[in-house]
Amino acid sequence: MSAPILPGATIGILGSGQLGRMLAQSARRMGYRVHTLSPGADTPTGQIADHEVIADYDDLSAIEAFARAVDVVTFEFENVAFAATECAAQYAPVRPGGRVLHTTQNRLREKQALSDAGIPTAPYRAVHQADELAAAVAAIGTPAVLKTAGFGYDGKGQTRIEADTDLAQAWASIGGGPAVLEGFVDFAAELSVVAARGLDGQMSDFGVIENRHAQHILDVSIADMPLEPAQIALARSIAQAVMAHLDVVGVLCIEFFLTQQGELMVNELAPRPHNSGHLTIEACPSSQFDQQLRAVCGLPLGATQRQAPVAMVNLLGEHWQEHTPNWPAALDDPQVNLHLYGKAEPRNGRKMGHITAFGQDREDAARRALAARSALSNG
């Protein structure tokens, strides 16, 4: 096994959004330096990094120079070109490896990897061109969901297929490129397991987190979803199996559907810290970002138990529309913590920050977090 990368070394982050910002905060706290690369300037990560490189992800000369200047490379979102990670790996360790990124940034490759590992998913068919869609619908049935194979998130790049849907119009609506048709899952709940795997194969996770969405965007996450012990054990074992199968070094989020019959199906994978894991910053001895840092540096993983019932709500750009949010009102509850991401322009649907709250129990924590967010409008 490689020697650990110790405090004082430099962490290179491909991507520069809020996930990179919070990873950089963990790294700076532990004595590491941080470099970030993305096409943007004055980014959420760049604002607190030691060095911000402004370059496209397909600029391999810039990627090479970036990797030469750091001790390990990781990434904070999936839409980094595979060629960039392959280039960087010639000069510094890339963790998770580029092959993990290559698999998870494309739904077809991801579904195939899950199938190969024996992991339950919704039934699916590959659709490479328009004239294959009708056969796929006949095989899967309706309702179904047509999704672009790559570069989709927060409900983008997908459309629902019903028995009377105009298939040509549906194909055009997602851009007319390679896609996957998935059988519609009548789910009772959505949940996630955020897990970490170290360089030595050690694994740890943050339990089962319940996720409630609005307009296809995560709205509320609540720790420790009350499932049957067997369901919790299965969700955690699936997370471990996926990480081992993909040979992940770092953090991976496994998003699940819980069906009306109580079965678990994997919906998507994210090979990085995840929105639903933000509540771990206050709630756990080692947050998801601490775990990412520890894992990619070859250090032992930290403790992940919850110190109190906790919930998180997202803050989207809509909260800035009427007036400046009333931060004092939101923070009037001493159990509330505020995180803002340093984004200059609020837009509808854009994640600008989040609120975390503790409570007497998980529903009380969710109530407090929602009340704090609602108080932002009390101008």
- Tell me the CATH number at 32: 3.40.50.20
Domains held by the chain: number: 3
SS3 164: coil
pLDDT in tens, 313-329: 999 999 887 778 999 99
Give the mean pLDDT of 5-28: 98
DSSP 302-321: -----SS-EEEEEEEGGGGS
Check whether residue 63 and residue 152 sit in a common domain: no
What integer pLDDT is reported at residue 155 of this predicted model? 54
CA distance 14 to 180: 27
Check whether residue 191 and residue 146 sit in a common domain: no
CA distance 132 to 134: 6
What integer pLDDT is reported at residue 70 of this predicted model? 98
- The predicted model scores a pTM of 0.94
- 114 domain-assigned: no
Residue 42: pLDDT band (50, 70, 90) is very high
- 134 domain-assigned: yes
What integer pLDDT is reported at residue 379 of this predicted model? 63
**Positive or negative torsion for Cα 41, 268, 318, 25:** negative
Check whether residue 172 and residue 233 sit in a common domain: no
- 109 domain-assigned: no
- 207 domain-assigned: yes
- In 3D space, the residue among 83, 108, 267, 81 whose CA is nearest the CA of residue 177 turns out to be 108
Check whether residue 246 and residue 138 sit in a common domain: no
Q: Give every strand in the sheet of 72-75, ordered side by side.
A: 51-54, 33-38, 10-14, 72-75
The pLDDT of residue 1 is above 70: no
pLDDT: which is higher, 79 or 296: 296
- 118 domain-assigned: no
- 3 domain-assigned: no
CB 253, CB 192: distance < 8 Å? yes
CA distance 203 to 294: 12
Cβ neighbours for 287, distance < 8 A, ≥ 6 positions apart: 22, 26, 277, 280, 281
Check whether residue 207 and residue 355 sit in a common domain: yes
Check whether residue 146 and residue 257 sit in a common domain: no
Check whether residue 326 and residue 198 sit in a common domain: yes
Check whether residue 25 and residue 59 sit in a common domain: yes
CATH code of the domain containing 294:
3.30.470.20
Q: Give the residue numbers spanning the domain of 69.
A: 10-94
Please give the DSSP secondary-structure letter assigned to residue 376. T
CA-to-CA separations, 192 to 10, 137, 258, 277, 290, in angstroms, rounded: 30, 28, 10, 9, 18
The pLDDT of residue 154 is above 60: no
CB 279, CB 220: distance < 8 Å? no
The pLDDT of residue 179 is above 70: yes
- 322 domain-assigned: yes
